[in-house]
Structure formats: structure tokens, C-alpha cells
A and B are shown apart, each in its own frame.
Chain A
Amino acid sequence: MIIETMDFGFVEIREEDIINFPLGVYAFREHKKFVVLQNPDSAWMLHLQSIDGPKPRFILLDPYMFVSDYSPILPSEADEIFGTRDPSKLSIFVIAFIPGNIRDMTVNFKSPIIIDFDRKIGAQLILENPGYEVRTRLFGSEDE
């Protein structure tokens, strides 16, 4: 099927690539089907694109690019959705907010996108870790 994406125009996707988000994601609960598209210009950037239209889509990054000891403590909802609270059995991505000025970019370590690619189920869960924040700036003002 062909979907309209936010960043790459119309894209053909396969039914089997659709990830079901039974709860949607926060603020966009009504959108329950997404695909993960790799940015053709940079393989490390993934686009979680709703199949319903150009929006919503989220830019996903590997948290370990930024925090090598990222150790998410999953809430009990993980058991209901994925049948496990063990993060090593799941794929975990942080949502990036990338404004016009890259220096002001933030990532959300507190509420990552979690995907079980085998069962094609995904969710955004708020972690139990007290130290992680929803908007973590990556670059200081000295990074020019």
C-alpha cells in the first residue's frame, strides 16, 4: 500500500511492516498503525510514520548514541503490552525534537518508543527511572 509521509512524500510500504500501537502514542491516541522508515540520507535516523497521513511522525534515535549506560526500567504496562518488562528483549528508541537550530535539539529519555519487531507491537511508555527527563538538551551553548 502507498502512504503519504511527512518527510519522503508518497512511499510504498508492505502490510507486514506495519507496527500496531494498541494505545497510540501520547497526544495522538487515535493513530494506532505506524511504520518505521529509515532516513535515506542517514541510516541512524528512523522515522516512526503513521500510516494515516503525513502526521503524526516522530524522529527516532538510538538512545545508546548519547547515553552508553541507558538502562530503562519499564513500567508494569510493559507486561500487558509486550508480555515482558525486560528491555533487552525489546527495541528502544528515543523521540528527538529537532528544531530549525540543531543546537536546541532535545531528546526524550523519560518516555521512549518501545517496539517488539517480531510481534509488530509498539508503545510509548513512561519509564520508572527518576533521573530521566522528557526534554534533555544534547548540546551545550558552547557547541558551535
Chain B
Amino acid sequence: MLVITRKSSESILIGNDIRVTVLEISEGKVKIGIEAPKHVNIVRTEVLETINANIDAVLAESPRDLNLLKSRIIKRKEKN
């Protein structure tokens, strides 16, 4: 991973037409501004991860072996 240190109001360029600007840093949060062409899809990572996880969960077949699953969960609980 490329690591770059930036201060508030400083920016970086990705390619020729994507600019990422640090707008504000406070209380453990960073406010970021992104200028990019319309066709570039920008989404918070956890949103895309949630979408993909939901699709996988819906495509999974009906759960089988529920007794096995339950015994695993109980075993896991005992271990923790």
C-alpha cells in the first residue's frame, strides 16, 4: 500500500482526473473531498462489502445440518 501523509486542505491526484482532498481532521475522523469523473463509482468500503455479503447470503441454499450447526455454536461458546 502506498502511504502518503497529508495535512488539512492538502490533496493527492489519482491518475489525471481524480483528486482526493483532506478537508478536515478532528476527533479521530477525517473528512475527505473527492473530485472524479461521473462514471467513477465512489462508495464507502463497508457499503460495497455489505452489498456483496447480502448477495452471497441470499444465494445460499436452505441451511441443512442444523443440529451440527447448533452443536458447533455451543462448543464455540464453551471455549470462549
Residues of A within 8 A of B (CB): 6-7, 25-28, 39, 41-42, 44-45, 55-59, 65-66, 95-100, 102, 105-106, 108, 110-111, 124, 126, 134-135, 138-139, 143
Contact = CB atoms under 8 A, between A and B. Distances in A.
A100 B63 CA distance: 8
Given A26-B51, A27-B51, A97 B60 contact: yes
B65 interface: yes
Given A138-B73, A143-B75, A111 B57 contact: no
A105 B53 CA distance: 12
Contacts, number: 87
Interface size class of B (residues with CB under 8 A): 20 to 34
Interface of B: 44, 46-47, 49-58, 60-63, 65-66, 68-70, 72-73, 75-77
A99 B68 contact: no
A97 B56 contact: yes
A39 B67 CA distance: 12
